[in-house]
Structure formats: structure tokens, C-alpha cells
Amino acid sequence: MGSWIKDDGPNNNIVLSSRVRLARNLSNVPFPAMLTKESSSDVIEKIYDEEMRNGVFKEYKFYNMQDTGFVDRYALVERHLISPNLAAQNSIGAVLISNDEDVSIMLNEEDHIRIQAVLPGLQIKEAWNIASSIDDKIESKVDYAFDDRLGYLTSCPTNVGTGIRASVMIHLPGLNLSSNINKILQAVMQVGLTIRGFYGEGTEFIGNIFQISNQITLGRSEEETVDNLTGITEQILNKEKEARGLLFDNNRIMLEDKVWRAWGLMTNARSISGQESMKLLSEIRLGIDMGILKRIPVSVLNKIMVDTNNASLQKSAAKELNTPERDILRAEEIRKLLMQ
């Protein structure tokens, strides 16, 4: 389980995690969309050969998508170790996951190589350092598709250049409750950042969780990208703190009532949807941060967030479950986690 799930990190009461992802491709090999099944195996073999297996990737687990079952693939998505995209295509993709689960390297997703490092709290620079050092190690072994003028070449033009996507997963219930969230999100978009939901591109905002990431990969260095996102995240962080403080001062009973009701429902419900549990979890996180509820380890809260989703539930039940069955098991798991 990644350290972003089980450990504390700087400003973890608001910034759940920091992530850096680098898109890379092998030179003189067609992008994955154009690969045959055979040549896709060659790509994997080139990166994950005997030498790398016993060297750079010694502390990694390797999953070939075609040998990984449906539920297992989506359980990896729910832990944010692979993209929904990689899980959906099960013929040519693979992933390498470090034993500590902080690093995952997708192979033959949209690009040949996508290196991802995730850390708890606001640690974008630290995540960048980890991803960059792995990038260097892979680059010393294979030839990257690189253009002197453009930089790293990628499948999608939006990644050409640095190929970096730095992002934070940020929890903003205070701004939402005080109806300031749209103003903030608009300002964030105006400075060229992108906002996404909990599961990435195209997913909804649930549980007051937002993923904010850079859009620009051309004409701006990796360090600038990281510093820029860090600076803006700090600003949002302060706005959120301010909003929480104002709510506590001016609407304390409303806040306490909301938080305790969420606690009452989460510790008593016998059936709960994923959507509702994310909403209530958000209120519980807020309540802990405001000192209304007793402290609960961040690992427990994050386990509720990642381990009570559809695929993870089915994995733990070791069988397929329909929606009502999942809702019942989810409620059971949440009660166990919160009452332990």
C-alpha cells in the first residue's frame, strides 16, 4: 500500500497526495496505438529484461495486463497504481509497481513508458526527484524518442516537451461549504492548470476531492512546473484553511451537526453507495481536522477511500458482487475500519 495511503505527509489535512508522472517513448518504435501484439511484447522486453529485472526493478512487481483478471486490474486503478485506460486495454499493456507502491511504471499505455511517483501530502518536488531518478536509470538503458527542439516525444501532443504531469489531490470541503469552490477552481484554470475528479480525466468531483495538475509541457522546465504547482497549491491550501476557520467561528453548530451526522451514518449504515461514502468521508476528515471528532489515523481514512470501492471489495470478497451486495459489504468494511 503506497505511503500516500498509509502515512502522514506535510499538510496532509488538506493535500492528500502529490504525484509526478513522466511520459516517455522508445526511439524508432511506433507509439502503443500502432503496436502489434508482438511488437508490444518487444517494448516490454526491452525495458524489463533480465538485467533490469535483477537491477533497477529488483524491488518491483510486474503485472502483464493480459494475465491479470478484471477485478485485479480495477483494484489497481482504485489504488491509483494504473490508469483506467491501461486497465481497459488488456492485450498489450503492463505495469511495474515498486514494493512500497510509491512508484508505478506503466508500459504500453498511451506512451511506451509512464513513470509515476506518489507521496503523501504536499511533496511535489520530492515526487519529482523520485520519478526523475528512475527516469535516469531507464534512460541509461534504452534510447528515448527525443527531439532537440521539442524535447521528449509523446503519443499525444499535449505531453510533448518535458512529458511531465505534476498533480496534487486536494480535499476542499471548507471552500465547498462556504460556496467559494467555483471561484477558486476558475482562478486555478485561468493560470493554466487542469482540474479533474478523484479518478482522473473525465471523472466526477466526489467527496470534495480535486486533482489539480499542470497543462503545459512545452517551454517550461520540470523544475518550473513543479514550483508553479507547489506555489498555487499553497495558495489554495491557505484559502481552504481560512474557509474552515470561518466556518468553525461562524457556523460551528452547523459544522458539528454535519460532521457528527456523517459519523453516525458511517458507523451505523448497513448499506452505502460509493458516492455517499465519499461524501461522508469528506465530512469526517473535516471533522477530525477541526477537532470535532477524535483523531483517526490517515491510513484508516485512506483505506476507506481506496479499499471500499467496487473492485477492491470484490477482490476482498473473492467473488463477483452485484450493486446491493457491494453496498452491504462496503458498509460492513467501513464500520470495521472506523470502529477498530
Cβ–Cβ < 8 Å for 200, 84: yes
Question: Alpha-carbon distance 39 to 29, whole Å?
Answer: 9
Q: Which of 217, 242, 212, 241 is nearest to 229 (CA)?
A: 212
Q: Which stretch binds a copy of itself (CB under 8 A): 145-153, 164-172, 219-227, 254-262?
A: 254-262
Which residue in 331, 333, 334, 337 binds a copy of itself (CB under 8 A)?
331
Q: Which stretch binds a copy of itself (CB under 8 A): 136-144, 227-235, 263-271, 313-321?
A: 263-271
Which residue in 105, 118, 168, 265 binds a copy of itself (CB under 8 A)?
265
What is the sign of the dihedral through the CA atoms of 252, 253, 258 and 260? positive
Q: Which of residues 4-63 bind a copy of itself (CB under 8 A)?
A: none
Give the nearest distance from C-beta 6 to a copy of itself in angstroms.
27
C-alpha cell at 52: 533490469
| Nearest to a copy of itself of 49, 325 (CB atom) | 325
Give the nearest distance from C-beta 334 to a copy of itself in angstroms.
12
Question: Alpha-carbon distance 234 to 238, whole Å?
Answer: 6
How many residues make up the chain in this entry?
Answer: 340
| Nearest to a copy of itself of 233, 282 (CB atom) | 282
Give the nearest distance from C-beta 240 to a copy of itself in angstroms.
23
The verdict on 264 binding a copy of itself (CB under 8 A) reads yes
| Stretch (H or E) spanning 114 | strand 113-120
| Nearest to a copy of itself of 270, 336 (CB atom) | 270
Which residue in 100, 201, 224, 257 binds a copy of itself (CB under 8 A)?
257
How many CB atoms within 10 Å of residue 264?
11
What is the sign of the dihedral through the CA atoms of 262, 263, 264 and 270? positive
Question: Alpha-carbon distance 306 to 77, whole Å?
Answer: 9
Q: Which of residues 305-324 bind a copy of itself (CB under 8 A)?
A: 324
Q: Which of residues 86-115 bind a copy of itself (CB under 8 A)?
A: none
Place of cell 505511503: 3
Give the nearest distance from C-beta 288 to a copy of itself in angstroms.
15
| Nearest to a copy of itself of 133, 268 (CB atom) | 268
Question: Alpha-carbon distance 304 to 6, whole Å?
Answer: 11
Radius of gyration of the chain measured on its C-alpha atoms: 21
Summarize as ranges the residues that interact with a copy of itself (CB under 8 A). Answer: 253-254, 256-257, 260-261, 263-271, 324, 328, 331
